[in-house]
Amino acid sequence: MEKTGAQIFVDSLMEQGVETIFGYPGGNVIQIYDALYDADINHILTRHEQGAAHAADGYARASGRPGVCLATSGPGATNLVTGIATAYMDSVPLVAFTGQVSSALLGRDSFQEADITGITMPITKHNYIVKDISELARVVKEAFYIATTGRPGPVLVDILSDVAAARTSQEDCGPVNLPGYRPVTEPDPEQLNRAARAIARAERPVIYAGGGVVSAGAHNELRLLAELILAPVATTLMGLGGFPGDHPLALGMLGMHGSKYANFAVNECDVLIAVGVRFADRGTGKRDLFARDAVIIHIDIDPAEIGKNVEVDIPVIGDVKKVLAGLIERLEKKLPGAWQEKIQKWKKEYPITYEENGRLKPQQVIREIFKVTNGKARITTDVGQHQMFTAQHYTFTRPRTFISSGGLGTMGFGLPAAIGVQVACPDEIVFDIAGDGSFQMNVQELATAVNYQLPIKVAIMDNGYLGMVRQWQELFYNRRYSYTELINPDFVKLAEAYGAVGMRVTTPDEVASALQEALDIPQPVVIDFVIEREENVFPMVPPGAPLNKMLG
Amino acid sequence: MRHTLAVLVENNPGVLARVAGLFSRRGYNIDSLAVGRTDNPAISRMTIVVEGDDRVLEQVTKQLHKLIDVIKISDITADEYVDRELVLIKVSAEPEKRGEIMQIADIFRARIVDLGRRTMILECTGNEGKIRAFEESLKPYGIKELVRTGKIAMLRGSRYTNINTNGAREDE
């Protein structure tokens, strides 16, 4: 039977088990949209292609399944770029499809033409341009395979509009043949033995866990290993939830806005077990002083991460879950000693806290969100002070419950990501904790939430500033607040204009009841928390300083 | 230190851009890059000369490996290999100078591939040192135009870099 390229596209998605795609139509994907009209695939129409990419990303982070987004050529495709780069930096499995002008127009600077494969080369794991219908099914198959295996990442497939319209009776798409792509998942026993010997000898071990633990589904193995060797666990921003934040061995986040005890522990450890991390500068502080007395064991599925940022003593390449299981097999139970005592002492001495002074503080709001949801919400954030407050003051106990742009630091991520999360987890509470600045970067997606009746709750930490930049200006630029003050719209009215429910909270004693009220409303709700304007995120490791030199 | 890498890649459109783009955005220095297809039309081979210490080389190799189109990378720097470049030089050659230039060509086993009224084009192959010496000896006559291919290299003896070998190299 003859099929069009668009039908092959839709069939290929079905074959991959894709249930939902996030997209925005346009001239050069109109054929594909025509095929989607009859397809058994849920399509979410966002209000901007960037929203579609972040929503697909949020869907993937929450569910562990690949997120799929679709946009037209030219501006549609370039609007995906920030979302693709966000997914790339955080190793999120995302498959982005874009329409392209027809072959007769390709390369002529035609209407709505952009070289999106060229543009996205540095921010995708791989990308394709499909110029022949005979390649389409194979490319879609390969794209999903590449996005989801090894170190996950975004893959872009650019489809010429005449390929979508062409017809073929060819059934078989041909085998996936990628001779240059062979991710190593099975760890080498010798590497495992070396790592196990170093851990067995350790007197002051620390585990440094990142997003790789979450994406590999290795949280149980991580907990078992930590309990076996009694190693305290510090996580990166991306690793939050990969280890239960309420566990006695939990150190919370390390790095620039990490806890003092996490940073002290990493600074003084003798063996650092780095699991699924890439030693990003926000986590390590001054690199050459990072864990400088420690034997560093680096566990990662991507060999290119070994030695990229810090020198590693013992690398273990492989799937994090398998590596951790291999280590557990090789190690014996340890007994608590002076190191564990010291950690507990630090935890008592330097708790993550904030000053209550009768005014509305973001930390209180975040702690209250934890309380009213029993810690069971899925939290998305934007980027800035509110993000760091969330990382510090909300206790994440389960993987895939903290969904935030780590590596790229994308303002405007939270709301569209929350849409993707709510679609992936329809029965769960989804909270987007936003800043007043970043909320406005993709505020149009409120319309999407209302359109699909997604009962997302948005908590805006509204201080009328680009808070994090203002904090840096206060601390390092002599309080010269250069263009960081915001004149905002009335967020309550704005929410209402979009058909959502708007609320405003200005005092500490209204917080709990407002949150409860918002939870009881089965619609999108925006709560404008008018917070203390010049609250700062502490502790803070100043940029370029070692981890044990913290402010606050 | 300069390293010579033999890199097998899938002969897909854009593969050169992927490789070259990787070098520029990661801040590595390419000295030369030559590319052409192998006996298997689906596979191209790049010879990449890159400047850097061992740490840089390790990262270059690992990052190159991450590219889906890159099948295999061998650093052949430490091995015995044959390397060649091809150069075409158009040099001023007034009739009275032609004899001298032809003598130089002879010494370098270069060939004269074009003769104009006032110019000649010479073709020469050899390793980098020879090409440099050839260029130097023609400079006094006035080089009008010069084009070099970049280095290509192949291991000596029975060892080879080939898609079917598992490690970097294999003895027969």
Is residue B169 predicted with pLDDT exceeding 80?
Answer: no
Residue A523 CB neighbour total at 10 angstroms: 15
Torsion-angle region of A526 (φ positive above 0: left; ψ -120 to 50: alpha; else: beta): beta
CA–CA distance, A479 with A464 (Å, rounded to integer): 16
CA–CA distance, B128 with B118 (Å, rounded to integer): 28
The chain A residues in contact with chain B (CB within 8 A) are: 117-118, 121-122, 125-126, 129, 146, 178-181, 302-304, 306-308
Could you please report the per-residue DSSP string of A465-515?
B-HHHHHHHHHHSTT--TT-B-----HHHHHHHTTSEEEEE-SGGGHHHHH
Q: Which residues of A touch B70 (CB under 8 A)?
A: 180
CA–CA distance, A100 with A199 (Å, rounded to integer): 53
The partner residues of A97 in beta bridges, in order of sequence, read A70, A157
> A94-121: buried (b, 16+ CB within 10 Å) or exposed (e) per residue?
bbbbbbbbbeebbeeeeebbbebbebbb
Find, in chain B, the residue whose alpha carbon is nearest to that of A142: B68
pLDDT at B165: 59
CA dihedral A79, A80, A82, A86 (to 10 degrees): 170
Residue A47 CB neighbour total at 10 angstroms: 19
- Tens place of pLDDT per residue across chain A (552 aa): 899 999 999 999 999 999 999 999 999 999 999 999 999 999 999 999 999 999 999 999 999 999 999 999 999 999 999 999 999 999 999 999 999 999 999 999 999 999 999 999 999 999 999 999 999 999 999 999 999 999 999 999 999 999 999 999 987 777 788 999 999 999 999 999 999 999 999 999 999 999 999 999 999 999 999 999 999 999 999 999 999 999 999 999 999 999 999 999 999 999 999 999 999 999 999 999 999 999 999 999 999 999 999 999 999 999 999 999 999 999 999 999 999 999 999 999 999 999 999 999 999 999 999 999 999 999 999 999 999 999 999 999 999 999 999 999 999 999 999 999 999 999 999 999 999 999 999 999 999 999 999 999 999 999 999 999 999 999 999 999 999 999 999 999 999 999 999 999 999 999 999 999 999 999 999 999 999 999 999 999 999 999 999 998
Find, in chain B, the residue whose alpha carbon is nearest to that of A312: B55
User: Which amino acid, A253?
Assistant: M
Q: Which among A118, A146, A308 is the nearest to B17, CB-wise?
A: A118
> A367-383: buried (b, 16+ CB within 10 Å) or exposed (e) per residue?
bbbbebbebebbbbbbb
Q: Which among A180, A302, A308 is the nearest to B10, CB-wise?
A: A180
Question: C-alpha angle B122/B125/B126, rounded to 5°?
Answer: 135
Given a contact cutoff of 8 angstroms between Cβ atoms, the answer to whether A158 and A289 are in contact is no
- Tell me chain A's radius of gyration from C-alpha atoms: 24
pLDDT in tens, A47-78: 999 999 999 999 999 999 999 999 999 999 99
pLDDT in tens, B12-30: 989 999 999 999 999 998 9
What is the percent of chain B with per-residue pLDDT over 90, rounded to a whole number?
86
Q: At what angle do helices A260-268 and A338-349 cross, to 10 degrees?
A: 150
The partner residues of B9 in beta bridges, in order of sequence, read B44, B70
CA–CA distance, A438 with A445 (Å, rounded to integer): 13
Secondary structure string (H, E, C) spanning A82-145:
HHHHHHHHCCCCEEEEEEECCCCCCCCCCCCCCCHHHHHHHHCCEEEEECCHHHHHHHHHHHHH
Question: C-alpha angle A184/A185/A186, rounded to 5°?
Answer: 100
Given a contact cutoff of 8 angstroms between Cβ atoms, the answer to whether A448 and A46 are in contact is yes
Q: Which residues of B touch A304 (CB under 8 A)?
A: 59, 62-63, 65-66
Range A308-311 contact pairs with CB under 8 angstroms and sequence separation of 24 or more = A308/A278, A308/A279, A308/B59, A308/B62, A309/A278, A309/A279, A309/A280, A309/A281, A309/A284, A310/A279, A310/A284
The partner residues of A460 in beta bridges, in order of sequence, read A434, A528
Q: Alpha helix (H) ranges present in A406-453?
A: 414-424, 436-439, 446-451
- Tell me chain B's radius of gyration from C-alpha atoms: 19
Q: Which residues of B touch A303 (CB under 8 A)?
A: 62, 65
Q: Which among B25, B55, B59 is the nearest to A122, CB-wise?
A: B25
CA–CA distance, B73 with B51 (Å, rounded to integer): 16
CA–CA distance, A431 with A455 (Å, rounded to integer): 9
Find, in chain B, the residue whose alpha carbon is nearest to that of A124: B67
Q: Which residues of A touch B14 (CB under 8 A)?
A: 117-118, 121, 129
Mean pLDDT of chain B: 92
pLDDT at B163: 77
The chain B residues in contact with chain A (CB within 8 A) are: 9-10, 13-14, 17-18, 21, 25, 55, 58-59, 62-63, 65-72, 163
pLDDT at B168: 45
pLDDT at B58: 93
Residue bearing tokens 């520029």: B24
pLDDT in tens, B58-101: 999 999 999 999 999 999 999 999 999 999 999 999 999 999 99
B58 contacts A307? CB cut-off 8 A: yes
DSSP state of B140: G
Tell whether omega for the bond before A539 is within 30 degrees of 0, i.e. cis.
yes
